[in-house]
Structure 1
Amino acid sequence: PRNSPASRGGTTPHTPRNRLGDGSDRFLVGLAVLTLLSDLAADRPVLFLVDDAHWLDPASADALVFAARRLGAEGVAMVFAAREEFDARGLPELPLDGLEDGAAAALLAERASDLAVPVRNRIIEESAGNPLALLELPAALDPGERTGKAPPPAALPVTGRVLAAFGARVERLPERPRLALAVAAAEGTGELGTVLRAAHSLGATAGDLDAAARAGLLRITGAHVAFRHPLVRAAAYQRMPLTTRLSVHTALAEATDGDRRALHRAAASPAPDEDVAADLERAAAAARGRSAPATASSLYEHAARLSPSRDDGTRRLIRAAQSAITGGRTERAAALAERAAEHARDAGPLAELAMVRATAEFERGAPAGTARYLADSAVPIAATDPGLALTLLVMAAGNAWSAGEDGEVRRVAGLAAEIGAAAVGTCVTRAAGETASVAAALVGLGRIAAGDVASGVPLLRGVVAASRTDPFGSLIARLFVLAPALLLGEDEAAAELAAADAALGRQRGLIGALPTTLQVVAQTQVAAGLHRDAAATLAEAGELARETGQRHREGRLAAIAARIAAVEGDEGRCREHAAAAGRSVAEAAAAGACALGLLHLGLGRHDEALRVLDEAASGPARHTAAVVFASADLAEAAVHAGAPHRAEAACERLTEWAAAIDRPWASAVALRCRALLSPGEEAFAAAMRLHEQGGRPFERARTELLYGEWLRRARRRSDARVPLRSALAAFERLGAVPWAGRARAELRATGETAPAPSGGEDPLDRLTPQELQIVRLAASGASNRDIAAQLFLSHRTVEYHLYKAYPKLGVASRAELARFA
């Protein structure tokens, strides 16, 4: 339904907007390739060589590189030989230089011994060490040029020279073999039957194709035609006169169907033609359906060029830009959107362009300023297309929230309120209810941005509850809910919703959505004290974010890693991750700063902790979850720094939030802060009773530590030992070294001989992040193939990691893994 944001192709700013559509499924092809290679390597090692990889179509390149990044224990080696423009991010690269002059001379002496010395030297010079040029340039010379009796051709760049050399060999063919070669070049897929059908309609035969093969320009194997080198095909195609080229593509269009027919019709159309453009548009839609967004983008762009109508051309350019975004080609999408914007006039197309442009900026890691643009684009279509308008507003709100633009958040809230009211006033449908719920949540964010926590929080709680009761029908709406769940401190809800969406993303191959859901999974794992699991989740999310080009997501993930390092007192790691977060959006930068503040607090640097946390609390991202909940750290730092007056505001803010969100752990932490400012047992005791209801073990241990310190100072040493022992045990489980040291020192001060740091290593600490993920899944009962599908690995890699994990854990069988679930 168009009245629901679920029906739109956009997403929230907290989701990877360029990966939520059909294009994400293309990674399943990569997983299938990996599985196939793994099965082939069951009996003996496999070498998979891709020569001239830069000639691959984008979808095939994506799938192959995806598989290569995940090679582990399969007994498979993949080697890509390519020019510099081939994108193989994440794979080790070995740049190759040209052959040295001596080696080049030796090669020519072996393969072209009749060359005159000056000619040989010139070929060595012009080839720049390129082996292909060294072999092909001599073949292009006639006998007089080879012996130096005739002047050689003018100098050209190496590729041009090689292309010209192949072109000369094409020209030597008789007319009909040359025509048959041209048909094969234009056909492009190598299907012998198609080539012969088209060639026959033009007067060429199979014998003519054989003649081209005998000339060494192509090979015929079974039902397949392959050119000796891609440059041979380029030369054959480029040497065709225009009239021949048009005739060849017309013949091929008659010999093919589907997408290929559309492409050949387009190549045979020198002028705009709506019938051909519509055919291309249908082919583009089919490409999107088979998860080939890069191909779809190219087809839409071609359709736009052949559109007689400016409006139709603009619409198709917009689709090309959207497909480019879906395929993760941000810069290309931005360029296409700019071209479309030159002719777009109506509010609807301009709104769709706004989504593409804003997404491009977001993926570049620069959401600031896009919120106003998105909101401005939503206003003209709010009445006619509320679904699209609300999607734009969701994007605008998230971008503004991430960038700390409170004014824009409030403005979006006002616009969303009107759309929500209209949805409620139409009819009682699921789509209308979903729209109203999401719109209300945007209103809630606006109220919080205005400082009205008490009335804003219930609206956020409503959208979280609605999604848990009846999960929203779209990924857009479901992922939007994750941010409110975190802001409300509803760790269980956030974990449940994120885990469900992560499972769905794995099942459907929506890899581009996984960094977002895995980020939330990691945040809830940190809150639950599962640091090792969180580190494994972050490792997977980071790898997927890099593979899908989500630069902004890496900063957010770094902020979570900084938090883990801060709790554990690892200063080097914390500073590294906080710096990475600081290079991201304001929200991530603030979270990284709060992690640094916690690090300083744990290490006893109270003045420095106060400074860092104070800056975050007054910064542009002051309303975000990390900063709000760091109010407890700020209050504690202020008290220990001898500035209790600076703790008052933080304590009041946390108390207000705790009352609004009504989470036991948050209320307990607020009481702890109050006890620091007004020492007394009542607040500590009340906090401990609330902690008994569960949630955030690190915060509970900190309350126990402060309570124990207070009891000891009140000369109640025996009573102090109970919370201090519990705090020490919790800190040791969490690996919170500085906090455990502080608890141990307090225990000694009570007169108890505190136990030395536990030397008993948790067996899980011995596992790598990926081994831990696999062990957890295996312990839950998942088979190796199920695990492989979930983590986008081959089943042999899963087997290998389990083989390595068993001795580390001291187990001998899968059944014994149950205790590690």
Structure 2
Amino acid sequence: MLRPPAVVLIEGEAGLGKSRLVAEAAARAAAAGRRVLTGFCHPLREPLPFGPVVDALRGVGPFLPPADRIPASAGALRPLLPDLADRLPPPPPGAPGEGPPGLRLLVQAVRALLGALGETVLVVEDLHWVDDATRELLLLLARDVPPGLALVLTYRAEDLPPDTPVLGAAYRRPAGVGGALLRLSPLAEAEVHELARAALGPRATAALTRVLFERSEGLPLVAEEDLITLGERRGADALTTAADLAADLEQSEVPRGLRDAVTERLAVLSPDAAAIACAAAVLGVPAGEELLAAVAGLDAQAAADGLTEALRAAVLNEKPLARYGFRHVLAQQVAYRRLPGPRRGALHRRAVAALGAREPRPLVQIAHHTLALGDRSAWQEVAEAAADQAVALGDSGSAGPLLRRLLDEPDLDPRRRGRAALALARIAADGVDSLASAATLTAIIADPRLPVPDRGEIRLSLGFLMAVHGGDRAGFDRIEESLEELEQRPDRAARAMVALAMNERDGAGERAWQWLERAERVLAASPDEEVAAAVRATRLTFLAREGDPSVWERLEALPRSSERPEIVRQTTRALYNVGEIAVELGHDRRAARLLEESRRLARQAAIPYLECYSRIALARLDGLAGRWEGLEERLAALGAEFPDLAMAGIEQALLLGRLAAARGQLAVAYARFAEAEPYGERESQVTGALRVAAGPAALLLAEGDVARAAAVVAPALDTLRAAGAWPRAAELLPVAVEVLLAGGDRAGAAELVGQAGAGLEGRDAPAPLAALAFARGLLLADGGDPAGAGAEFVRCAGLWREIGRPYEAARAEERAASVSAGVDRAVAGELIGAAERAYLALGAAWDAARCQRLRRELGLGRAASPGRRGYGERLSPRERQVAALAAQGAANQDIARALFLSTRTVEHHVASALRKLGVGRAGLGEALAAEDGAS
């Protein structure tokens, strides 16, 4: 549009955003000084010759030059533009005195007028409704475009006359004429999620995205209207479950433009095609030709003809596996709502009959049609059978909503209510909508009519949901309460005991093996293969916690396949638990293999929470290995995909807090660590409390706030000692020792190092042993033994490199350099150089800057460099470093602290970078990425 002459054709169905795209582009063109004229084609137009073009030209008034500067041929437009007649030249010779000019004269007149305006954009929208005369005019204009004109035409390909190009004849842009054919496509689900996040922020969950995408099929207009509806109807805390969202949006109006487009297509169908469309609307899911014919009440030939017509009219489209349905849910809703009640009822009855004759019977669909007929008693029976069928097939995603809806029925038979509640309790832990299931089960558990064993099993499930999904160890209180109620169900009581064994907090860790032994005694009296699998998985978890090397061989012996899904589930759980603990132990490569296997098995067995946990732990491994690129986006996507799982948000906070600290974004790091803090208090595993304390304590210590760092570390050390969790103390141990030494408590630091050494004796735990070497180095340095300290730090760096964690290795090398400078300056120089290079390779700007400062303070010389040079209009390394931090949102003061520079120096570098890149601060990230791509 900004480089005339040009012809731009924009193709796309209703709701894809053609008009929005044109409006945005036209606004930019107008801001750049172009004249923008717009005309519209209409399905029901008044008999005005060349109406869309004439409508557009009526807007030229403000831009018209004096009449003596307009070519005489433009005078032929006088009859069509009476309001501007006195500002146009007289009609040229041969033009009719009254009425419209002929096509040849009109084309000349339009070209002449547009040429007189200078650089102009002419937009004609909705060419699928264009009349023949206007189409021919636009074709001739497109074949001979005035030098200053950009012609923009929009249309829906599916609504063009059959076998007719948009301009009536084949068109190719002439030489020297720019432009493009833009075929707009629907948004992908990820793009719908971005749209939702822009509108709703963190409330844009995966559940919301899924509902929006299913309704809109990627049409931006529909998704946008739905987001507006949600914003108007629901408060900030109400956007929780997919079912709530779907129910809310189901009642909302279909956007008018889409409703009109669908209605227009339906109105011109023949009776047979209309019958097929109505059948598809009632069925609600893609269906084969035979089923459509049965519901429509047509014979095979009439159904085939009607289906073909509906496809050609773009009312229906073909889906995979020879099925047919509406393009998107809202089009189906428009067609469904147009049906009178009696007609709808008849079609639903036919659907029930046709579906009921199939084997296996599609009970979920039959339940839907039965409910639509208003027969609630029959629906309850079918819905229960449908839920049972879904559970048997391992489809908890279908079973959960059915069971929750059943349990909402006020007149549900108590026996059916009990069966449905138990079924929901048994699938809730593996379901996706765990919050919705927890709310339903909490209400059910108070029902006095509920048999005691059923109540115990439901209470057990609620405890699982709280402890596993919510990361809240209060769930173990509910699990323990359920034991007395489960006396008549020893298998479930044993399962509760296995769960209780997993709690390490509040003194419960001392009873862990006792709970496991109790479960085994119950199993001896009442054998149960599934609970035995849970006991095995838990025993392996305990062995891994203790750093017992026998765990690896035992893990390989677990079954990876079984006819009983619970056994595979327990194998998956064991693989994940041991894999996660392997990360704490420092067996990173082994951890990656175990976690990848648990992720794969969890997906195959439809266990969403274990799949999520595995993917989170794999992302953490990537962070520890220095693979930081794209980590934020992966974690954010996981958090959105699994909004009910507390661990997704907590791990995101911890990992991104570490990254922000390394990059010098200290305010961001503090905020991230604060998000994770409640997790350390609530989680049943001590690992969370140790990791949550380590990050902020290290930041506070680096900023010299020893008292606050000590206050953070003290309770974590109490937790560590009470649980004896030394094999999982790799993150906390070094910072805790440094905090104690900084506070003058050398005896306390020495005691902690001694306890850790004793606790790790004979354990297969490389990471905490590397951390112990670092801690010993700190103690030796504080005691005046730089040579011994340097040796411990170097040993630590080697251990971390062997594990595969470059950031930790660089930290150890940096410390080795700081204590070795007075012993061997050459070695110290090599060590500080290695640490600085590693930090820079990782993007750890804060740490790299600290190395540079240490080099200056110790007089170790400058980093290896070919010598100072001028960079001209390219960014210097320091300017790039500062610009990268600014692009990530760091304020100048934060950058100054991170890079150990003055604020004035940072301001100078930022200003220089902005000038060289030619952007404002908001455009830094994009400009840096573009420069990287060009280099």
Q: Report the TM-score range of the alignment, normalised by the length of the smaller protein.
A: 0.5 to 0.7
The residue aligned with 2:656 is 561
- The answer to whether the Cα contact below 8 Å between 2:622 and 2:628 also exists between their aligned partners in 1 is yes
The residue aligned with 2:589 is 492
Structure 1: any 5+ residue segments left out of the alignment?
1-42, 94-126, 136-177, 446-455, 769-803, 812-821
- 3-state SS of the aligned residue for 2:863? coil
- Structure 1 CA distance for aligned equivalents of residues 348 and 850 of structure 2: 81
- 3-state SS of the aligned residue for 1:659? coil
The residue aligned with 1:284 is 390
The residue aligned with 1:332 is 436
The residue aligned with 2:420 is 316
The residue aligned with 2:613 is 516
The residue aligned with 1:100 is none
Question: Match for 1:45 among 179, 183, 193?
Answer: 183
* 1:497 CA displacement: 1.7
Q: Deviations over 1:376-414 (max 9, x none)?
A: 43576699655x55654565555x45xxx3333444442
- 3-state SS of the aligned residue for 2:507? helix
- The answer to whether the Cα contact below 8 Å between 1:49 and 1:79 also exists between their aligned partners in 2 is no
* 1:562 CA displacement: 1.1
The residue aligned with 1:638 is 740
Provide closer, same or farther for how the CA distance between residues 527 and 469 of structure 1 changes in structure 2, counting only shifts above 3 A.
farther
Question: Match for 1:539 among 633, 652, 676?
Answer: 633
AA aligned to 2:739 is A
Question: Match for 1:477 among 574, 582, 586?
Answer: 574
- The answer to whether the Cα contact below 8 Å between 2:738 and 2:778 also exists between their aligned partners in 1 is yes
Alpha-carbon RMSD across the aligned residues, in angstroms, is 6.0
AA aligned to 1:45 is R
Q: Deviations over 1:645-693 (max 9, x none)?
A: 4423432343234435342524422432442454433464356346434
* 1:253 CA displacement: 6.0
Provide closer, same or farther for how the CA distance between residues 444 and 378 of structure 1 changes in structure 2, counting only shifts above 3 A.
farther
Provide closer, same or farther for how the CA distance between residues 805 and 660 of structure 1 changes in structure 2, counting only shifts above 3 A.
farther
- Structure 1 CA distance for aligned equivalents of residues 736 and 334 of structure 2: 66
Question: Match for 1:659 among 761, 767, 775?
Answer: 761
| 2:458 pairs with 1:353 | yes
- Structure 1 CA distance for aligned equivalents of residues 759 and 425 of structure 2: 42
AA aligned to 1:752 is L
* 1:563 CA displacement: 1.9
AA aligned to 2:862 is A
| 2:554 pairs with 1:466 | yes
Question: Match for 1:548 among 631, 638, 642?
Answer: 642
- Structure 1 CA distance for aligned equivalents of residues 616 and 403 of structure 2: 34
AA aligned to 1:668 is A
* 1:319 CA displacement: 2.5
TM-score, with normalisation over the residues of structure 2?
Answer: 0.52
- Structure 2 CA distance for aligned equivalents of residues 716 and 220 of structure 1: 80
Provide closer, same or farther for how the CA distance between residues 358 and 418 of structure 1 changes in structure 2, counting only shifts above 3 A.
closer
* 1:558 CA displacement: 0.9
* Structure with larger RCO (C-alpha < 8 A, sep 6+): 1
- Structure 1 CA distance for aligned equivalents of residues 254 and 378 of structure 2: 44
**Greater helix share, structure number:** 1
- Structure 2 CA distance for aligned equivalents of residues 224 and 743 of structure 1: 65
- Structure 2 CA distance for aligned equivalents of residues 666 and 69 of structure 1: 52
Q: Residues 24-103 of structure 1 correspond to what in structure 2 (within 5 A)?
A: 45-48=183-186, 79-80=222-223, 83=226
- Structure 2 CA distance for aligned equivalents of residues 196 and 133 of structure 1: 27
- Structure 1 CA distance for aligned equivalents of residues 695 and 518 of structure 2: 39
- The answer to whether the Cα contact below 8 Å between 1:567 and 1:736 also exists between their aligned partners in 2 is yes
- Structure 2 CA distance for aligned equivalents of residues 133 and 707 of structure 1: 68
Question: Match for 1:407 among 507, 532, 535?
Answer: 507
- The answer to whether the Cα contact below 8 Å between 2:592 and 2:618 also exists between their aligned partners in 1 is yes
- Structure 1 CA distance for aligned equivalents of residues 351 and 230 of structure 2: 31
AA aligned to 1:671 is R
- The answer to whether the Cα contact below 8 Å between 1:262 and 1:276 also exists between their aligned partners in 2 is yes
Q: Residues 160-559 of structure 1 correspond to what in structure 2 (within 5 A)?
A: 188=284, 194=291, 197=294, 230=333, 233=336, 251=353, 258-259=361-362, 262-263=366-367, 266-267=370-371, 271=377, 276=382, 279-285=385-391, 289=394, 291=395, 293-300=396-403, 310-320=414-424, 326=430, 328-338=432-442, 340-341=444-445, 342=447, 343-345=449-451, 347=453, 349-350=454-455, 352-354=457-459, 356-361=461-466, 365=470, 367-377=472-482, 386=491, 392-393=496-497, 395-396=499-500, 400-401=503-504, 405-420=505-520, 435-441=534-540, 457-458=546-547, 461-467=549-555, 473=568, 474-502=571-599, 513-528=610-625, 530=626, 533-534=627-628, 536-552=630-646, 553-559=648-654
The residue aligned with 2:699 is 599
Provide closer, same or farther for how the CA distance between residues 575 and 356 of structure 1 changes in structure 2, counting only shifts above 3 A.
same
- Structure 1 CA distance for aligned equivalents of residues 332 and 584 of structure 2: 58
- The answer to whether the Cα contact below 8 Å between 1:423 and 1:433 also exists between their aligned partners in 2 is yes
- The answer to whether the Cα contact below 8 Å between 1:283 and 1:299 also exists between their aligned partners in 2 is no
Q: Deviations over 1:68-124 (max 9, x none)?
A: 9999xxxx9785365469889xxxx9xxxxxxxxxxxxxxxxxxxxxxxxxxxxxxx
* 1:611 CA displacement: 3.7
- The answer to whether the Cα contact below 8 Å between 1:324 and 1:333 also exists between their aligned partners in 2 is yes
Provide closer, same or farther for how the CA distance between residues 805 and 648 of structure 1 changes in structure 2, counting only shifts above 3 A.
same
Provide closer, same or farther for how the CA distance between residues 554 and 225 of structure 1 changes in structure 2, counting only shifts above 3 A.
closer
- The answer to whether the Cα contact below 8 Å between 1:300 and 1:316 also exists between their aligned partners in 2 is yes
Larger radius of gyration: 2
- Structure 2 CA distance for aligned equivalents of residues 510 and 327 of structure 1: 7
* 1:543 CA displacement: 0.7
- The answer to whether the Cα contact below 8 Å between 1:417 and 1:440 also exists between their aligned partners in 2 is no
- 3-state SS of the aligned residue for 1:692? helix
- The answer to whether the Cα contact below 8 Å between 2:501 and 2:509 also exists between their aligned partners in 1 is yes
* 1:559 CA displacement: 0.8
Structure 2: any 5+ residue segments left out of the alignment?
1-180, 193-204, 237-251, 261-273, 561-567, 867-875, 886-927
Provide closer, same or farther for how the CA distance between residues 742 and 591 of structure 1 changes in structure 2, counting only shifts above 3 A.
same
* 1:415 CA displacement: 1.2
* 1:628 CA displacement: 5.8
* 1:334 CA displacement: 2.2
Provide closer, same or farther for how the CA distance between residues 754 and 616 of structure 1 changes in structure 2, counting only shifts above 3 A.
farther
Aligned residues: 617
Question: Match for 1:575 among 667, 670, 673?
Answer: 670
The percentage of aligned residue pairs carrying the same residue is 16
Provide closer, same or farther for how the CA distance between residues 426 and 322 of structure 1 changes in structure 2, counting only shifts above 3 A.
closer
- The answer to whether the Cα contact below 8 Å between 1:183 and 1:248 also exists between their aligned partners in 2 is no
Question: Match for 2:798 among 687, 692, 699?
Answer: 692
- 3-state SS of the aligned residue for 2:440? helix
- Structure 2 CA distance for aligned equivalents of residues 413 and 660 of structure 1: 21
- The answer to whether the Cα contact below 8 Å between 2:463 and 2:477 also exists between their aligned partners in 1 is no
* 1:373 CA displacement: 1.3
* 1:595 CA displacement: 1.0
- 3-state SS of the aligned residue for 1:47? coil
TM-score, with normalisation over the residues of structure 1?
Answer: 0.59
